[in-house]
Structure 1
Amino acid sequence: MSGSAHGHTTAAWTAVTICFIGFMLAAVAMVAPWPVLVVVGLVIAAVGPIIGKVMSAAGFGKKVDSAHAPAGAQKTPVGSGVSS
C-alpha cells in the first residue's frame, strides 16, 4: 500500500483535517448542548471531501503514473462480439 502513495497528498491531508475539525466541533457541541454548532460542525465535515476533490483536480492530488500501464492494454467491453 505504501508503494502506491495512497493518501499521501496535500489534497488528502487537507480533506481529512477539515473533516476532523468539523467532527470535533460537532462532538464538543453535542456535549455542551449547542444544536446550531452541531449542525455547523457537520457542515464543515461535509465540505472536507469537496475541498479535497477540488484540490485534487487542481493538481494537488495523486499524479497519474502512466509508466506502469502495459503497452497496448485496451479492454474490450463484455458482450461486444469481438473474440481474441
Structure 2
Amino acid sequence: MSKATVSASTSAASKGVYDDVDHSEAPGHGNSPAAWTCVIVMLIGALIASIAFVIANTPVFIAGAVVMVIGLLAGWVMRKAGYGVGGSKLKNSGH
C-alpha cells in the first residue's frame, strides 16, 4: 500500500446533474385544484386497476389504466385553464 495522499482537484471533478439547480426559491408542493384533481382521479384509476388485477379481469384493468390517463389529462387541462400553481384563476383579486 502506498502512503501517498490522494486529493481531487475541484476543477478536474466532473460537474454533476444537479449542480446548476437554483435553491433560492421554495419548490412548492403543487397545492392547486389542478394537482388535487389529477391525483384523486389517478388514485381512483389505480384502485380500479388494482382490484381488476387481483380478480384477473383484463378489460376492467385497462379501464382503470384509462381512468389514470384521463386524470393526467384533466390535471394538464386545468393547469392550462389557470387552476395550476400560480394560475390566473387562483390569483388574489383583493376582495
Taking structure 2 as the reference length, what is the TM-score of the superposition? Answer: 0.60
- Count of residues paired in the alignment: 64
Greater Cα radius of gyration, structure 1 or 2: 2
Q: Which runs of 5+ in 2 are unaligned?
A: 1-25, 88-95
Q: What value does the CA root-mean-square deviation take over the aligned residues?
A: 2.0
Taking structure 1 as the reference length, what is the TM-score of the superposition? Answer: 0.67
- Counterpart CA distance in 1 for 2:58 and 2:49 is 9
Structure 1 vs Structure 2: percent identity of aligned residues? 34
Structure with the higher helix share, 1 or 2: 1
Structure 1 residue runs of 4 or more that deviate by more than 4 Å after TM superposition:
none
Higher relative contact order (CA closer than 8 Å, sequence separation 6+):
1
- Counterpart CA distance in 2 for 1:23 and 1:33 is 15
Give the secondary-structure state (helix, strand or coil) at the position aligned to 1:62. Answer: coil
Offset of 1:4 from its aligned partner?
4.6
Q: Which runs of 5+ in 1 are unaligned?
A: 65-84
